[in-house]
Amino acid sequence: MGRSGVIDQTLAIRNAGPSAVVLRLKVVPLDAHGREVSGLTTTSAYGTEIGNHVIPAAFTDIDVLAFHGPGFRDVADVRVQVEAVDSVSFPAKIRDVVLTERIDAWGDVVSGGVYEQVRLTNRSRDAVAVRVALIEYEDPPPGASQQAVDVQQLGGLVSVPGKGTTTIPGPTRFPDAFVSVKAYFAR
């Protein structure tokens, strides 16, 4: 569980190496005693488990995990096995994530509800490739972590210029639940 105002069920991924990588991970859900919670499948919002998420060199990023099946509320931790690591071409000096803002029909930034576009802002000097995920969350029972229940990819791979912005269309379906719109480095 994250602290108040922070996404629950995240996996921190640190790439201490000299080049950007994509990973293929096997994520094993564990209970509070460190025992495997069997019968669950694990997915992620950014596709780290399938080799979709680029982790720049000397960078720490996250992915948002979701657990599916009976007993998913028993998950308190995970064990991660790296099944594959592939080096990929990516700018070397990336230090910031790409920021997202929801833009309504009048060009104003809004915090939720219906919006027409998503503005992507890259604070780094180099252009980067990202994908954008609309992550829908449940309203969990008191004391339980908040589970991502649906992930909608907005468009495809998008290039965001260095020290610049670009906009993409917003979603065609707007969930009633709490959502976050996140850009992640991708290939």
End-to-end Cα, the chain, rounded Å: 29
Please name every residue paired with 21 in a beta bridge, in sequence order, or none if there are none. Answer: 55, 87
Write out pLDDT tens, residues 34-64: 999 999 999 999 999 999 999 999 999 999 9
Q: How many residues comprise the chain? A: 187
> Where do the CATH 2.60.40 domains begin and end in the chain?
99-185
What's the CA gap between 135 and 91, in Å, rounded? 27
Q: Give the single-character DSSP code of 62.
A: E
99-185 topology per CATH: Immunoglobulin-like (2.60.40)
- Residue 71, pLDDT > 70, answer yes
The model scores a pTM over 0.85: yes
Write out pLDDT tens, residues 144-176: 888 899 999 998 999 999 999 999 999 988 776
Supply the pLDDT for residue 68.
94
